[in-house]
Amino acid sequence: MLEVSASAVVPAPAGPVFALLCDTARYPEWVAGTDEVTRTDGPAHTPPRRLVHVTTDIPLSSRFEVAMEVASEGEEASEVVLTLRGQPSLGPVGAVFARPMQGQVDRDNRKSVEAFAELATRELAAPQTPRA
């Protein structure tokens, strides 16, 4: 079993952060390795703060799951956690091929969560008011 997790804090409330996270059409803007979304059923919502994408059509994987969670960090900030889990196909042979991929999957997951945090900060963070 392959599993990696990464998190980032976004200076915006959880509700708008979760709504942006659910906008599947925008995944190419922040998901590492995603050039385009060729089909979407619209925003993916599993209220209140968690969504999971599951696929069985990734090479050498019998099941691949992406869990995305948002938790409030006070009133004006949120923590975003992306967890990837893969079940190798082909039994022990698949596990041998999956092992070297874990580092790349981990790096891509960290890049994705950092890119999402940058996008969410640009679009959702409250403008800072200068102090007098």
* CATH number of the domain residue 69 falls in: 3.30.530.20
Mind listing the pLDDT tens digit for each residue in 84-97?
998 888 777 777 77
Mind listing the pLDDT tens digit for each residue in 11-41?
999 999 999 998 888 999 999 988 888 877 7
- The domain in which residue 69 lies consists of 2-124
Cβ–Cβ under 8 Å, residues 35 and 108:
no
Is 26 among the domain residues? Answer: yes
96, two tokens: 């041998």
**How many folded domains does the chain comprise?**
1
Q: Which residue's entry shows tokens 């893969």?
A: 86
pTM: 0.82
Phi, psi for 11 (deg, rounded to 5): -80, 65
Report CA Rg, the chain.
16
* Gap between the Cα atoms of 8 and 82, Å rounded: 9
Is 129 among the domain residues? Answer: no
DSSP-derived pairing of the beta strands 78-88 and 50-55: unpaired
Is 120 among the domain residues? Answer: yes
89, two tokens: 């196909």
- Predicted pLDDT at 42: 66
Is 131 among the domain residues? Answer: no
Is 46 among the domain residues? Answer: yes
Tally the C-alpha atoms within 13 A of residue 41's C-alpha that lie toward its C-beta.
3
At how many degrees (to 10) do helices 14-21 and 91-124 cross?
Answer: 130
Is 71 among the domain residues? Answer: yes
Is 132 among the domain residues? Answer: no
Is 130 among the domain residues? Answer: no
Phi, psi for 6 (deg, rounded to 5): -145, 155
Q: How confident is the model at residue 126 (pLDDT cuts 50, 70, 90)?
A: low
